[in-house]
Amino acid sequence: MPTIEKNTQFIKTTAKSLGFDYCGIAKAQQLEDDAKRLERWLMQGMHGSMHYMENYFDRRIDPRILVPGARSVTTLLLNYFPSQQQNEDAPQVSKYALGKDYHEVIRNKLKIFMQMIQENIGEVHGRGFADSAPVLEKSWAMKGGLGWIAKNGNLITRKNGSFFFIATLILDLELEYDDPFIKDYCGSCTRCIDHCPTDAILDNKVIDGSKCISYFTIELKDMLIPENMKGKFGNRIFGCDVCQDVCPWNRFSQPTKENEFTALPEILNFSTNDWEELTEESFNVIFKDSPLKRSKYAGIKRNLKFIHP
């Protein structure tokens, strides 16, 4: 078996053995069309106060700058769809945040992945990322043949919908490249646009991040949420899943097999009163390994007061 084919097979097999649900490989190159779209999006201020998205523009559009000598971009998907759901009447936490922080879970998997590559293939240089670097993950997922970017900005797979974390492995290793996913199966469906509580999803596959509930409840560091958003959050205190919940493709979602994403009992069982009485000390203990620590105690309390004044 030729070396490139053998190495590619090893990458795919190892990805599966580490629990990743999908693995697609693309040639490392500059993303010219994405560069234009990203520049327009930033110029229109749709990133709100997320100024970090303005940084390292050249690295975002070309993985060979981010990882010198890069020849391949491997995209990995890890299912997080929960087997248990929250009580609908309780303050809502986005499904991706019900269990352990995915950054830590995926970072550990990528570390092992790199070790296995070097042990079995040889001296290979590269870096693995899980939403931790300027990488256009969804574009690389499309180029790796895994799915298409939907009207709500999420990557959708035909077999299992969109409840996936995306990880990227950029290597100075030449591999066999998958055919890009070029079809769009959203068709004339506009459910995500029609149901978005804050009208953050525009008609041309552009998301106004500065209007998204996830932006207000997680990314926004101001202690005041704009009054014009009053009444639009429902009972959501951390993130929002509406555009995914209404997507027809997510009827194919299956519960995750990753034990680390098992929902915390507190998130499943906390009532509004439990959240309101939660102390900072208890918050730091209960959610020490949770994505909720990103908003911090003060942020969660702010969000809670905004939906339950």
Please state, in angstroms and rounded to a whole number, the distance separating the CA atoms of residues 38 and 234.
30
Mean pLDDT by groups of 10 residues along the chain of 309 residues: 90 98 96 65 61 59 88 97 93 97 95 96 92 77 96 95 96 97 95 96 84 93 88 96 98 97 95 96 97 95 89
Residue 75 pairs in a beta bridge with 24, 168
| Contacting residues for 11 by C-beta, under 8 A, at least 6 apart | 23, 25, 74, 117, 175
Q: Would you mind telling me the total number of residues written for the chain in this entry?
A: 309
What is the C-alpha separation between 146 and 156, in angstroms, rounded? Answer: 8
SS3 156: strand
If phi over 0 gives left and psi between -120 and 50 gives alpha, with beta otherwise, what is residue 5? alpha
- Predicted pLDDT of residue 223: 76
Which residue type does 211 have? K
- Where do we find the tokens 């041309």? 204
d(CA 112, CA 106): 10
Q: Given this model, what pLDDT does residue 55 score?
A: 57
Burial class (CB in 10 A: 0-12, 13-18, 19+), 129: buried
Q: pLDDT value at position 50?
A: 61
| 3 state DSSP class of 164 | strand
* Residue corresponding to tokens 């929960």: 82
User: Are the CB atoms for 146 and 181 separated by under 8 Å?
Assistant: yes
| pLDDT in the model for residue 45 | 67
Residue 126 burial by Cβ neighbours in a 10 Å radius (0-12, 13-18, 19+): buried
CA distance 137 to 59: 12
d(CA 50, CA 220): 8
DSSP state of 263: P
- Residues annotated catalytic, as ranges: 131
Could you tell me the pTM of the whole model?
0.92
pLDDT of residue 309: 66
Question: What confidence score (pLDDT) does residue 30 get?
Answer: 86
